[in-house]
Amino acid sequence: MKPVVLVTRKLPDAVEDRLRRDYQPRLNPDDRLYASDELVARAAGADAIVPCHTERLSAEVIARLPDSIRIIANFSVGFDHVDLAAAKARGIVVTNTPEVLSDATAELTILLMLGAARRASEGERLVRTRQWRDWSPSFMVGIQVTGKRLGIVGLGRVGRVTARRARGFDMEIHYHDLQRLPPEQEAGAIFHPTPEDLLPHCDFLAFHCVATPQTRKMLNAERIALLPDGAIVVNASRGTVIDDAALIAALKSGKVAAAGLDVYNNEPDIHPEYRELPNTFLMPHIGSATQETRDAMGFRALDNLDAFFTGRAPGDRVA
């Protein structure tokens, strides 16, 4: 008998075709967001769950999962939506999909930097609403990216790709991480042992760190004060790293010139003032949203399932 796999969201066609070939999938063709009760009910008799970051597999939800569930193979690189301790306590393996998102997320980070610096949202609105009248030397003046200092919080896989792309703009790379990287991975980037050491060197600040209690509201009012006046903040990691009230206040005062955001607290019901500010460039959590990357994420999740159900250790096990 092929293992039964509950798939919580609509996945790319190629991924679902492979699921049908190798498993007994319970698919979600309408791409509905399952509430916790429905997710638990649909898991009855299943051997595995393939969730996305949109599902909150809390300790309470995991405690209610049927005993038949043996593995949670996430369709995401992040796994903060799963209570790993609760899964481990029940003997449920948890995996993620690292590495395959790096290029797409780095591309999106560069888009956020350019969009925020060059006032892309404002400009597009002017064109679409026919408010663009003429050209003048003072019209829609933004901030140049080329040659500026880019600070990266988290120089992991995505952070290193972002740094490589940013060097194409002759940017000087600074970074903070839990520890200094080997020289070959730094590639000339300048290490700062604390966020406080990093922030004064950031004309642009990009977050590529994971969501942990230590990174929650990492960018708060005290740390924003350490940024150069007119810095630009971009975030394609997790919304929890930013204190929304503090960033919004800084955007209003001009301490932060602009922000480019792809992730938020309480998605999709984000802080309403972000929508109202003219100096925000906002994307709807699409860092990995390329056809190539979404296929690769699905195949990586299925590789983890294949390994588990053939008695091998999944390569991307996180619990």
Q: 235 with 256: CB under 8 angstroms?
A: no
> Is 267 noted as a catalytic residue in this protein?
yes
Nearest CA to 112 out of 287, 293, 294, 292 is that of: 287
- What would the two tokens of residue 163 be? 């740094």
Active-site annotation holds for 285: yes
Q: Which of 196, 267, 292, 312 is catalytic?
A: 267
* Spatial CA neighbour of 148 closest among 110, 106, 186: 110
Helix and strand numbers, DSSP H then E, in the chain? 13, 12
Phi, psi of 44 (to 5 degrees): -55, 125
CA 303, CA 199: separation in Å to the nearest integer?
Answer: 40
Can you tell me the distance from the alpha carbon of 36 to that of 114, in angstroms, rounded to the nearest whole number?
39
Catalytic residue among 9, 119, 174, 285: 285
Written as six digits, the tokens of 184 are 């070959």
Burial of 299 (0-12, 13-18, 19+ CB in 10 A): middle
Q: Whole-angstrom Cα distance, residue 178 to residue 55?
A: 28
Is the bond leading into 272 cis (omega within 30 degrees of zero)?
no
Pick the catalytic residue from 238, 271, 276, 292. 238
CA 240 to chain centre: 11
Cα three-residue angle 12-16-20, rounded to 5 degrees: 170
Residues annotated as catalytic (active site), given as ranges? 238, 267, 285
